[in-house]
Chains A and B, each alone.
Chain A
Amino acid sequence: MTLSRRGFLNGAALGTACTFASDMTRLDLLRQSSWADEVKKQGKRVILLWLAGGASQLETFDPKPGRPTGGPYRAIPTSATGVHISELLPKMAARIQQTTAIVRSLNTKNADHGGGATIMETGRIKDPGIEYPDLGAICAKELGRLDSAVPDYVSMYTSTEGRRKGTSGFLGSRYAPMFLSESMQPENIRRLESVSDLDHQDRLALRDLLAKKFTQNRHSDSLGSHTQAYQRVRGLMASEKLFDIEQESAEMRAKYGPTQFGQQCLIARRLVEAGVPFVKVARAWWDSHGENFETHRELCADLDHSMSVLLDDLKDRGLLEHTLVLTFGEFGRTPGINASLGRDHFAAAWSATLSGCGVRGGACYGKTDEDGHKVADGEVGAGDLFATILSALGVDPRKEYMVGARPIPLSDFGAKPIKDVLI
């Protein structure tokens, strides 16, 4: 705990140390992680590039050139032998073998924005009576440190359409995202000028001192989390600079480029470099019911550039082997092309990618049929994708949380990791 330089509390009868009774490990009673497990997931990080609104698999990672459903764009070879992706992603094409695995056989069944997003955020179907945590919260809990001075789940969603904050569900608000929706700076992370730094510290210390008597003989996890939230304030305020890309060289900023998504990818890199275990950057909005091809020309250019630079930068800094970069959204888009030359919602056969940590670069798992209407081979659901993600991070997807009397595995019941895309 930070002490006032004036030290007004020194020698005060109550002392200054704060304790709290929270037992944050309670959820893990069933399966205590072994030391070996801990080592495996140490320092692992995730950046989720959330393609909100539903990107078209046909204009990205599962092109069907020449088919009636294929659209106008060509497929181009990638650095992985035999793997072709859309010509809208030329920079990524050059990096597939080195960094990225493609899963082309997702069938997540729900093509409604809200329902699909719930499935792809939590890795399972909504279940009344249980609020499931999303991937960010699971990773924050599994990869983060309880007393971390940096945030452990940062979620950026600056466009307004389909905006979702994310949820920590039964894991509790300790693992809720720090949510950036209005600007690139987190809200309330900077001290008001009307409060001096010294006063800011001192009143926090006074608060903790007065709270101590109250919390001493009262046993409650919620109470502990309250104490802890205030104890993390100063540390989080110190992480303000992580969100400031002006701290980067002009050259580095130029590399990421002028788009907001590119800049957010740069922030994501700064965050994982500082130890933030989970960063979600939502790129909205891909919901191209009209003018699918023009929309993807724009958004794929943004994705292709930002993602490539991000992967390169992580690699240059030696972070890529510890950082898993993901792309998916709530669903893909219909193979059928509508009268407005758009594609509609589609969850029956679509794609996701995994890059970096724990991933076999160049692996291409699963197949859709000739026109992309159905999964032809290797069908997987959201649960399997989550099991794969967790496995790539060295987290056992079968590990269970106890929620009341219910054991809830990290990835859905019966979900299996896709071994072919893992190292």
Chain B
Amino acid sequence: MAADPVKLQKTKDIGIPSIAMCVARTPNSGRLIFGSSDFKLHEIDVFAENPQPTSFGGEGHQSYVTGVVLAGPNIAISGSYDGQLIWWDVEKREPTRKVKAHDLWIRRLGISPDSKVIASVADDMQCKLWNAETGEMLRQFSDHKPMTPHNFPSMLHAVAFSSNGKFIATGDKVGHVAIWEATSGSKVGTVEAPGLYTWDPRQRRHSIGGIRALAFSPDNNLLAVGGIGQIGNIDHLDAPARIEIFDWQKGERKHELNNDKFKALVEDLVFDPSGQWLLSSGGAGDGFVTFTNLETGKPIHQDKLPMHVHQLVLNETNDMLFAVGHHKIAICEFKADPSPAAPAEPAKS
């Protein structure tokens, strides 16, 4: 059953001491594994009466943990700004393998739908594919320039597998997206979203923004990219959350949505499995969630979340949402009675 976004309601939020940068969920449970600013992975059962995170032990990461995926019932793989990928025994909460994967900061991990391949992207502008079981590097590719047009180091923030596992998309700071065939590593398309990159040539003389989130539609035809629109004062995340949706094979931009309700950075994108809407989430000082109708490109429903969200996951039945972010984990369910009398309040900018 497709979830009805209008029924979204926050049911719980849990304070945590650090900033959660990424999350994965053990299927059919409330057990979340999140990577965080304290350089660690933690596990928490959000359905427990008094949920408390438990840290993973052993010699772990040496910087912010920015990507985590589950590759089997007992295997978690994490990536970090320290350039390492670490395989973990989830039960024992101990590392089983470490791979020096990138020379610079790993920004995100992706995993193929069959859980056999993981993808890592990092500021060395490379996308690397790994055998999830053996840790062997399968291939690497890049279509991303190391420097921005304004001569500063660029960044490669986002990666996503298509729903059928055939394609991988990577998106960089200046708004360039490349789409790759997963098995061969050959480039099969590109799209450009320069509206997500703000270069300030006059007032502050640096840049902000970039592609922070990517997602393929269930039919693999659409590719959504997220970030933040053009910012006037780049000291702050002070522009509308921005999404662009492409029919990537045709190279056509189908929708472009500057969210007039939330000034924020889009950190994560999730398509409704039934193909009706796109969920985007992220934040600035606070967090937000927006559901966009894929036909019209207009928001169906949006709401504030209690913290800047860095990543989120849906449950199997798509009626529950688990978001992690700035010192908090929030759980939402799609069960509220739609009530026009209680519209969502806009976030403070």
Question: A288 contacts the other chain (Cβ, under 8 Å)?
Answer: yes
Chain A to chain B: the 5 pairs with minimum beta-carbon distance, closest first: A285-B204, A72-B64, A290-B237, A72-B81, A298-B152
Interface residues of B in 237-276 (CB under 8 A from A): 237-238, 265
CA distance A301 to B283 in the complex (A): 27
Known contacts A68-B18, A339-B286: does B152 contact A302 (CB below 8 Å)?
yes
Q: Which residues of the partner chain B approach A301 to less than 8 Å between Cβ atoms? A: 152-153
Question: B39 contacts the other chain (Cβ, under 8 Å)?
Answer: yes
A73, A284, A291, A301, most chain B CB atoms within 10 A: A291
A294 near B203: Cβ-Cβ < 8 Å: no
| CB closest residue in chain A, given B83 | A74
B153 near A297: Cβ-Cβ < 8 Å: yes
- Among B38, B123, B205, B284, the residue within 8 A (CB) of A260 is B205
Question: B62 contacts the other chain (Cβ, under 8 Å)?
Answer: yes
A294 near B205: Cβ-Cβ < 8 Å: no
Q: 1/0 per residue A160-171: CB within 8 Å of B?
A: 110000000000
CA distance A341 to B309 in the complex (A): 11
B151 near A257: Cβ-Cβ < 8 Å: yes
Interface residues of A in 290-309 (CB under 8 A from B): 290-291, 294-295, 297-299, 301-302
| CB closest residue in chain B, given A67 | B38
Q: Which residues of the partner chain B approach A233 to less than 8 Å between Cβ atoms? A: none
6 further A-B pairs in the complex, CB-CB below 8 A; given A71-B64, A287-B235, A290-B238:
A284-B205, A285-B206, A295-B208, A297-B155, A298-B206, A339-B284
Q: In the assembled complex, how far is the CB of residue B197 from the closest CB belonging to chain A, in whole angstroms?
A: 11
Known contacts A74-B63, A339-B285: does B82 contact A159 (CB below 8 Å)?
no
A339 near B236: Cβ-Cβ < 8 Å: no
A-B contact pairs, 12 of them (CB 8 A): A74-B63, A160-B203, A161-B203, A161-B204, A259-B151, A285-B235, A290-B238, A295-B208, A301-B153, A340-B236, A340-B284, A342-B236
Q: Which residues of the partner chain A approach B63 to less than 8 Å between Cβ atoms? A: 72-74
Question: B105 contacts the other chain (Cβ, under 8 Å)?
Answer: yes
Interface residues of B in 302-321 (CB under 8 A from A): 307-308
Known contacts A160-B203, A338-B285, A340-B285: does B151 contact A288 (CB below 8 Å)?
no
B208 near A291: Cβ-Cβ < 8 Å: yes
B206 near A295: Cβ-Cβ < 8 Å: yes
B235 near A288: Cβ-Cβ < 8 Å: yes
**Interface set of A (CB-CB < 8 Å, partner B):** 53, 65-66, 68, 71-74, 158-161, 257-260, 283-285, 287-291, 294-295, 297-299, 301-302, 337-342
Q: Which residues of the partner chain B approach A339 to less than 8 Å between Cβ atoms? A: 283-286, 307-308, 326
| CB closest residue in chain B, given A161 | B203
B18, B234, B238, most chain A CB atoms within 10 A: B234
* Chain B residues touching A, range: 35 or more
Question: B19 contacts the other chain (Cβ, under 8 Å)?
Answer: yes
Q: In the assembled complex, how far is the CB of residue B177 from the closest CB belonging to chain A, in whole angstroms?
A: 19
**Interface set of B (CB-CB < 8 Å, partner A):** 17-19, 37-39, 62-64, 81-82, 105, 123, 151-153, 155, 202-208, 210, 234-238, 265, 283-286, 307-308, 326
Q: Which residues of the partner chain B approach A341 to less than 8 Å between Cβ atoms? A: 19, 308
Q: Which residues of the partner chain A approach B19 to less than 8 Å between Cβ atoms? A: 337, 341
B38 near A68: Cβ-Cβ < 8 Å: yes
- Among A66, A284, A285, A340, the residue within 8 A (CB) of B39 is A66
Q: Which residues of the partner chain B approach A259 to less than 8 Å between Cβ atoms? A: 151-152
Q: In the assembled complex, how far is the CB of residue A92 from the closest CB belonging to chain B, in whole angstroms?
A: 16
B155 near A294: Cβ-Cβ < 8 Å: yes
Q: Which residues of the partner chain B approach A284 to less than 8 Å between Cβ atoms? A: 204-205
Q: Which residues of the partner chain A approach B38 to less than 8 Å between Cβ atoms? A: 68
- Among A160, A257, A287, A298, the residue within 8 A (CB) of B202 is A160
CA distance A130 to B151 in the complex (A): 43
CA distance A285 to B82 in the complex (A): 27
CA distance A72 to B19 in the complex (A): 11
